[in-house]
């Protein structure tokens, strides 16, 4: 259906390899606030998503996410600017795909997209270890249950997330541009490695979401 | 007095129906629709698009501009909150997306669904609903056209399209595209200007 996005689908489904490695942390000074950039509670956020492919070409989609920081659930709908739904999926323990049109129905794509959205929009779970990197910047380090490690570097001008796989290779970098009193106005997610890609998200709206969750909706029939 | 009330209500309803039929007299047959459309050489209108989904607490709202020049030139432009432009000229659709302060062609992105909708719109604006290869058309009373996909593959993406016709002959007031029972896009037009001269650059490459 959408040829230009095929490449991104392949890259997201495959998962790129990293190159930089997990740095050692020095002793912490004053403990930074590690969560203030992330939304708390249930929110509906909409983003304009620009994908930049390895060959430099671009594509534009709109993404709507209903997230809960309480139970860490996500409902994501990816659509064209004209409003045609390409992917409608949720994650509440397991990934549920309610609608996916080719090429967004490829195995692994929805899970890869939800993982990227989770990384960018939800604070990492657990209690971080606090330290400082080689430049002396404060780092909140979150060890993940899957062996991945997420480093969060707060900053007045911009926050940064670095995610490393179980071998300590860097897989994702996320730059979060803070906006006073609200969620990040711009998010840039870079997937590292030879099959890397970049997603630029511009916040269109953020409104509190009602308590009932779309994750409770039954899966819809997949279009033929 | 009490007995008179139902009769008055019935008469009022009849008057309203007759008035509606009179207002939309141009929309009582396919032939009348084609005749009205033939008198329209160009259309310019603003539009507001609402996307409704089950997960949304509030619909996503977009605003833009629509321009049509008979026989086959069309400009479908989103101005807020995302800038995007679709141009239809000589049967070909080109899409442009925001790049910095301007617009740039979206390379390799063939939006076949929107290509098809634009091609369909050209038929609608000509009153040729029945000629659509993709949709079967039904003309409802009170000025509504309902389009349903002719084949199952298309029905997987679009269940039906409803067009609400305006009081003015040849003008469509709103379009609703149903992707599912609880997922639909409603586009409402306003500030419609008919048969005005158009700048040819409206249909040219903006990048």
Q: Encode pLDDT of B26-62 as tens digits.
A: 878 899 999 999 999 999 999 999 999 988 888 999 9
Token pair in block for residue B108: 């390799």
Task: Answer yes or no: is B15 within a domain.
Answer: no
Find the helix or strand (DSSP H, E) in which A109 lies.
Answer: helix A109-121
Q: Supply the mean pLDDT for chain B.
A: 84
| Average pLDDT for A37-49 | 91
B181 touches chain A (CB under 8 A): no
Question: What pLDDT score does A116 carry?
Answer: 93
**Distance to chain B for A7, nearest Cα, Å:** 10
Tens digits of residue pLDDT in A169-195: 999 999 999 887 778 999 999 999 877
| Average pLDDT for A70-95 | 92
Contact A88 B53 (CB under 8 A): yes
Q: Supply the mean pLDDT for chain A.
A: 82
Question: What pLDDT score does B119 carry?
Answer: 80
Please determine, for residue A224, whether its predicted confidence score (pLDDT) is greater than 50. Answer: no
**Is the CA virtual torsion A82, A111, A166, A158 positive or negative?**
positive
Q: pLDDT confidence of B20, banded at 50, 70, 90?
A: very low
Q: Which residue has the higher pLDDT, A91 or A11?
A: A91
Question: What pLDDT score does A17 carry?
Answer: 45
Question: What pLDDT score does B100 carry?
Answer: 75
Tens digits of residue pLDDT in B129-176: 988 999 999 999 888 999 999 988 888 889 999 999 998 998 999 999
Could you tell me the pTM of the whole model?
A: 0.81
| Average pLDDT for B189-207 | 93
Domains observed in chain A: 3-208 (2.50.20)
Question: What pLDDT score does A6 carry?
Answer: 54
Domain that holds residue B36: 25-203
* B140 neighbors B24 (Cβ within 8 angstroms): no
Please determine, for residue A153, whether its predicted confidence score (pLDDT) is greater than 70. Answer: yes
A81: left (phi over 0), alpha (psi -120 to 50) or beta: alpha
- Number of independent structural domains in chain B: 1
Give the residue among B63, B62, B66, B64 at the shortest CA–CA distance from B44: B66
For chain A, the residues whose C-beta falls within 8 A of a C-beta of chain B are: 1-5, 44, 46, 48, 50, 57-60, 62, 64, 66, 75, 77, 79-85, 88, 99, 101, 204-205, 207-210, 214, 217, 220, 223-224
Task: Answer yes or no: is B144 within a domain.
Answer: yes
Task: Answer yes or no: is B16 within a domain.
Answer: no
Contact A207 B57 (CB under 8 A): yes
Q: What percent of chain B has pLDDT over 90?
A: 50
Residue with tokens 């997209």: A113
Side-chain-facing half-sphere of B102: CA atoms under 13 Å: 5
Task: Answer yes or no: is B131 within a domain.
Answer: yes
Q: pLDDT confidence of A55, banded at 50, 70, 90?
A: low
Task: Answer yes or no: is B5 within a domain.
Answer: no
Task: Answer yes or no: is B46 within a domain.
Answer: yes
Looking at residue B102, which CATH number applies to its domain? Answer: 2.50.20.10
Distance in angstroms (rounded) separating the CA atoms of residues A140 and A34? 6
Question: What pLDDT score does A22 carry?
Answer: 84
Lowest-pLDDT choice from A110-114, B73-77, B103-107, B160-164: B103-107
ipTM confidence score: 0.79
Task: Answer yes or no: is B94 within a domain.
Answer: yes
Give the residue among B200, B206, B60 at the shortest CA–CA distance from A203: B60
Side-chain-facing half-sphere of A134: CA atoms under 13 Å: 3
B63 touches chain A (CB under 8 A): no
Task: Answer yes or no: is B194 within a domain.
Answer: yes
* Mode of pairing for the β-strands spanning B135-140 and B92-99: unpaired
Question: What pLDDT score does A34 carry?
Answer: 82
Q: Is B22 helix (H, G, I), strand (E, B) or coil?
A: helix
Q: Which residue has the higher pLDDT, A29 or A19?
A: A29
CB-closest option in A4, A66, A88 to B108: A4
Question: What pLDDT score does A26 carry?
Answer: 75
Contact A3 B109 (CB under 8 A): yes
Residue A41 vs residues A66, A184, A208, A211, B100: alpha-carbon distances, Å? 10, 15, 8, 10, 33
């Amino acid at each position: 259906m959408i040829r230009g996005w095929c490449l991104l689908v392949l890259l997201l489904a495959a998962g790129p390899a990293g190159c930089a490695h997990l740095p050692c942390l020095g002793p912490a000074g004053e403990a930074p606030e590690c969560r203030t950039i992330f939304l708390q509670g249930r929110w509906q956020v909409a983003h304009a998503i620009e994908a930049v492919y390895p060959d430099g070409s671009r594509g534009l989609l709109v993404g709507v996410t209903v997230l809960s920081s309480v139970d860490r659930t996500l409902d994501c709908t990816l659509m064209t600017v004209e409003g045609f739904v390409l992917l409608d999926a949720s994650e509440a323990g397991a990934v549920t795909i309610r609608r996916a049109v080719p090429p967004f129905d490829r195995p692994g794509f929805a899970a890869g997209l939800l993982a990227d959205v989770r990384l960018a929009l939800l604070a990492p779970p657990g209690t971080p270890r606090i330290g400082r990197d080689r430049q002396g910047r404060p780092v909140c380090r979150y060890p993940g249950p899957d062996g991945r490690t997420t480093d969060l570097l707060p900053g007045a001008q911009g926050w940064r997330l670095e995610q490393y796989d179980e071998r300590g290779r860097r897989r994702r970098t996320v730059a979060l541009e803070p906006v006073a009193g609200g969620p990040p106005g711009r998010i840039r997610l870079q997937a590292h490695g030879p099959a890397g890609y970049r997603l630029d998200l511009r916040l269109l709206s953020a409104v509190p979401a009602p308590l009932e969750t779309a994750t409770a909706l039954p899966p819809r029939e997949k279009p033929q | 007095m009490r007995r008179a009330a139902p009769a008055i209500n019935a008469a009022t309803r009849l008057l309203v129906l007759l008035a509606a039929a009179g207002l939309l007299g141009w929309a009582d047959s396919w032939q009348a629709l084609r005749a009205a459309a033939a008198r329209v050489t160009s259309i310019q209108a603003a539009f507001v698009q609402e996307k409704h989904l089950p997960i949304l607490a509030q619909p996503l709202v977009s605003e833009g501009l629509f321009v049509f020049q008979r026989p086959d030139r069309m400009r479908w432009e989103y101005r807020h909150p995302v800038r995007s432009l679709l141009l239809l000229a000589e049967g070909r659709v080109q899409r442009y997306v925001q790049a910095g302060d301007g617009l740039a062609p979206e390379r390799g992105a063939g939006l076949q669904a929107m290509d098809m909708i634009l091609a369909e719109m050209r038929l609608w604006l000509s009153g040729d609903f029945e000629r659509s290869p993709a949709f079967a058309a039904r003309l409802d009373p009170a000025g509504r056209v309902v389009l349903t996909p002719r084949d199952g593959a298309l029905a997987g993406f679009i269940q039906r399209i409803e067009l609400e016709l305006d009081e003015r002959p040849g003008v469509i007031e709103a379009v609703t595209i149903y992707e599912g029972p609880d997922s639909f896009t409603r586009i409402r037009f306003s500030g419609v200007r008919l048969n005005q001269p158009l700048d040819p650059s409206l249909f040219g490459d903006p990048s």
